[in-house]
Amino acid sequence: MELPAANGTVTTGSRTTMATRPRRNSYPEGMRPVAVAGIGKTAFGAFPDRDLRSLAVEAGQKALENGHADASQVEAFYLGNFAGPSFVGQNHLAPYISAATGIHGVPATRFEAACASSGSAFFHAVSAVAAGLYDIVLVAGVEKMTSQPTPKVTEILAGAGDLCGEVRAGATFPALFAMIARRHMYQYGTTREQLASVAVKNHQNGAKNPLAHMRKVITMEQALAGKPIAEPLTVYDCSLISDGAAAVLIMPLDRARDFTGKPVRVLGIAQTSDNVALDEKDDITTLRAVKTSSEKAYKMAGVQAADIQFAEVHDCFTIAEILAIEDLGFVPKGQGGPYSLAGGTCLNGERPVNASGGLKSKGHPVGATGVGQICDVVEQIRGQAGDRQVKRNTLGLAQNLGGSGATSVITILGAA
Amino acid sequence: MTDLGAGTIYTETVVFSPPEAYVNDVPYQLAIVELAGGRRITGRIEGERGQIGDRVQFAEFRNNVPFFRKQS
Chain A: give the shortest CA distance to residue B57, in Å. Answer: 17
Give the integer Cα–Cα distance in Å for A401 and A291: 12
**pLDDT (0 to 100) of residue A24:** 59
pLDDT band with cut points at 50, 70 and 90 for residue B47: very high
Residue B1 CA to chain centroid, in angstroms? 16
DSSP conformational letter for A353:
B
Q: Which amino acid is at A64?
A: L
For A387-396, b/e burial (b = at least 16 CB within 10 A) is ebbbebbbbb
Q: Which domains does chain A have, with CATH numbers?
A: 5-10+21-146+243-263 (3.40.47.10), 173-239+271-415 (3.40.47.10)
Q: Which of A213, A314, A364, A375 is catalytic?
A: A364
* Option in A154, A166, A228 nearest B18 (CB): A154
Q: Which domains does chain B have, with CATH numbers?
A: 6-70 (2.40.50.840)
CB A21 within 8 A of CB A279: no
Listed in sequence order, the residues at least 6 apart from A93 whose beta carbon sits closer than 8 Å to its beta carbon are A52, A79, A81, A84, A110, A142
Q: Name every chain A residue with its beta carbon within 8 A of the beta carbon of B14.
A: 228, 230-231
**pLDDT (0 to 100) of residue A2:** 36
Listed in sequence order, the residues at least 6 apart from A4 whose beta carbon sits closer than 8 Å to its beta carbon are none
Chain A touched by B30 (CB under 8 Å) = yes
Give the integer Cα–Cα distance in Å for B35 and A135: 53
SS3 A321: helix
Chain B touched by A228 (CB under 8 Å) = yes
**pLDDT (0 to 100) of residue A17:** 42
Give the integer Cα–Cα distance in Å for A352 and A357: 11
Listed in sequence order, the residues at least 6 apart from A233 whose beta carbon sits closer than 8 Å to its beta carbon are A174, A177, A178, A181, A195, A317, A318, A319, B13
pLDDT band with cut points at 50, 70 and 90 for residue A77: very high
Chain A touched by B66 (CB under 8 Å) = yes
Chain A touched by B15 (CB under 8 Å) = yes
Task: Please count the other Cβ atoms lying within 10 Å of the Cβ belonging to residue A215.
Answer: 16
Judged by CB atoms closer than 8 Å, whether chains meet at A168 and B16 is answered as no
Q: Name every chain A residue with its beta carbon within 8 A of the beta carbon of B65.
A: 168-170
Give the integer Cα–Cα distance in Å for A385 and A398: 16
Q: Would you call A68 a catalytic residue per the annotation?
A: no
Q: Read off the pTM.
A: 0.94
Judged by CB atoms closer than 8 Å, whether chains meet at B52 and A172 is answered as no
Q: Would you call A115 a catalytic residue per the annotation?
A: yes
| Mean pLDDT to the nearest integer, A364-389 | 98
Q: What does the pLDDT look like over A142-151, one tens digit per residue? A: 999 999 999 9
Q: What does the pLDDT look like over B9-45, one tens digit per residue? A: 999 999 999 988 999 999 999 999 999 999 999 999 9
HSE-up of residue A309 (Cα within 13 Å, Cβ side)? 25
Chain A touched by B49 (CB under 8 Å) = no
pLDDT band with cut points at 50, 70 and 90 for residue A401: very high
**pLDDT (0 to 100) of residue A115:** 98
Query: Interface pTM (ipTM) of the complex?
Result: 0.98
Chain B touched by A160 (CB under 8 Å) = no
Chain B: give the shortest CA distance to residue A89, in Å. Answer: 18
Q: Which of A92, A115, A314, A316 is catalytic?
A: A115
Chain A touched by B14 (CB under 8 Å) = yes
Chain A: give the shortest CA distance to residue B72, in Å. Answer: 22
Q: Name every chain A residue with its beta carbon within 8 A of the beta carbon of B63.
A: 168
Average pLDDT, chain A: 94
